């Protein structure tokens, strides 16, 4: 019945706390209270009061006065508190589990990756294993003086806002109540959010703070192909949170049959299994690539062309100017990117006057875990009010 947002009374405070904290987070060097006053438009009086609250809540810390040029009282620099609340990120993927802890600034402090095919295991076993991994990392963090404030879990599937994994095709999971299961484990006292692996990897890419990314499609090439869409530095989730199923965008209406039942899905042209199909067994990765000339000379460029066709459609609809190749596509980018770029510049309408960029991801394997942990602390920075109960 309600039209939308609730009222806003003295939640002006909450807004301004967030505003100040965000300014500190994005500042290139520790700003003073006076800097914050001018960058936010608030008065110095107000900023001082807000900063006091944030320092009291353990979110901000003062650093010694920086040497200044010219006269005047030296400014006390403000930084996000390195020992403020930390975020725990976990990732379940088809062939590994991963986790990491980041501090408020987004710096990774602890991490772990456990390789292993999860497909033979049932969901409860996998969720228990990843929770144990998380508990270990949490203990490590605690020993170093950091308190984990929340968990985010990345999974290769479609997730409801309530923490239900609706479907994870490549794990053959469906309707798994991951949030409920985790609530009963060793992390049960922490707030848990669950999200798609490509979405969280895209967030990690965004905050890896490369070349000022603003809007892009992050392509996650794992066993399946997913995509995370970032528009104006915000994750785009679609209407129900099930956006980004790039792997099932059609490349040829009469192509080979996909596991999803349709014909000619991108996954059949550029998925990991399609890439390696019928190849002699051997070590994976770049080594095999160099060993196999057919792969490098023909298969990968062809896969790149298919990827480019699918992405061109996406870009024509969504209007982003950058594509980031992640997951296994990252290290394969030298063989894939030229074909992707060629298709994009041919097929994207706006590329005529605003050329597309195709990049390899700057992140390593467990990108989604890092993105998940970062999402936890970024939520705190975005809504600090409840940490400031003075």
- Identify the helix (H) or strand (E) that includes residue 338: helix 333-347
CB of 386 to a second copy, least distance (A): 18
Quote the tokens at residue 123: 């969901």
- Span 42-61, contacts to a second copy by CB under 8 A: 42
7 lies in the binding site for a second copy (CB under 8 A):
yes
Examine residue 43 and tell whether it contacts DNA (CB under 7 A): yes
Q: Does residue 56 belong to the site contacting DNA (CB under 7 A)?
A: no
Using the rule CB under 8 A, give the single segment among 21-29, 107-115, 121-129, 286-294 that binds a second copy.
Answer: 21-29
Shortest Cβ 354–DNA spacing (Å)? 38
Name 57's Cβ contacts closer than 8 Å, sequence gap at least 6: 384, 387, 388, 389, 390
Q: How far is CA 171 from the centre of its chain?
A: 20
Is 60 near DNA (CB under 7 A)? Answer: no
- Give the largest Cα separation in the chain, rounded: 74
Q: Which of 110, 111, 138, 248 binds a second copy (CB under 8 A)?
A: 248
181: which residues sit within 8 A by CB, 6+ positions away? 123, 124, 127, 128
261: which residues sit within 8 A by CB, 6+ positions away? none
Number of alpha carbons in the 13 Å side-chain half-sphere of residue 366: 24
Residues 196/169, Cβ–Cβ less than 8 Å: no
Residue 212 sits in the site that holds a second copy (CB under 8 A):
no
Q: Which helix (H) or strand (E) holds 293?
A: helix 293-294
- The least CB distance from residue 214 to DNA, in Å, is 28
CA distance 231 to 214: 7
Kindly tell me which residue out of 24, 51, 54, 235 binds DNA, with binding defined by CB under 7 A: 51
Q: Which residues contact DNA (rule: CB under 7 A)? A: 7, 9-10, 12-13, 16, 32-35, 41-46, 48-52, 65, 68-76
Q: Which residues contact a second copy (rule: CB under 8 A)? A: 1-9, 12, 15-16, 19, 22-23, 25-26, 39-42, 158, 166-167, 214-215, 227, 229, 231-232, 237-246, 248-253, 260-262, 265, 305-306, 309-310, 312-314, 316-321, 346-350, 353-354
């Amino acid at each position: 019945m309600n039209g939308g947002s609730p009222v806003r009374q003295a939640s002006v405070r909450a807004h301004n706390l967030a505003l100040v904290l965000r300014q500190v987070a994005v500042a290139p060097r520790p700003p003073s209270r006076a800097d914050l006053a001018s960058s936010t438009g608030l008065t110095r009086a107000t900023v001082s009061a807000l900063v006091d609250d944030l320092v009291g809540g353990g979110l901000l810390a003062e650093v010694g006065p920086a040497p200044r040029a010219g006269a005047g009282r030296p400014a006390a620099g403000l930084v996000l508190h390195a020992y403020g609340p930390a975020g725990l990120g976990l990732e379940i993927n088809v062939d590994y589990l991963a986790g990491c802890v980041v501090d408020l600034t987004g710096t990774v402090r602890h991490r772990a990756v456990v390789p292993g095919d999860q497909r033979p295991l049932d969901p409860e076993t996998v969720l228990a294993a990843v929770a144990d991994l998380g508990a270990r990392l949490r203990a490590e963090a605690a020993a170093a003086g950091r308190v984990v404030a929340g968990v985010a879990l990345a999974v290769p599937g479609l997730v409801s806002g309530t923490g239900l994994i609706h479907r994870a095709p490549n794990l053959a999971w469906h309707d798994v109540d991951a949030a409920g299961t985790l609530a009963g484990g060793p992390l049960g006292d922490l707030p848990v959010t669950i999200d798609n692996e490509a979405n969280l990897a895209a967030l990690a890419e965004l905050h890896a703070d490369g070349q000022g990314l603003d809007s892009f499609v992050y392509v996650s090439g794992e066993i399946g192909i997913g995509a995370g869409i970032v528009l104006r530095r915000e994750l785009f989730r679609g209407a129900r949170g099930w956006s980004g199923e790039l792997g099932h965008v059609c490349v040829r209406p009469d192509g080979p049959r996909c596991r999803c039942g349709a014909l000619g899905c991108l996954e059949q042209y550029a998925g990991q299994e399609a890439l390696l199909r019928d190849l002699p067994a051997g070590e994976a990765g770049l080594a095999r690539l160099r060993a196999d000339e057919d792969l490098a000379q023909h298969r990968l460029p062809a896969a790149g062309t298919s990827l480019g066709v699918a992405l061109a459609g996406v870009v024509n609809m969504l209007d982003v100017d950058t594509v980031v190749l992640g997951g296994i596509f990252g290290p394969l980018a030298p063989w894939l990117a030229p074909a992707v770029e060629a298709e994009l510049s041919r097929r994207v309408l706006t590329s005529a006057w605003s050329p597309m960029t195709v990049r390899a991801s700057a992140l390593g394997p467990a990108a989604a875990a890092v993105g998940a942990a970062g999402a936890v602390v970024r939520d705190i920075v975005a809504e600090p009010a409840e940490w400031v109960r003075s």
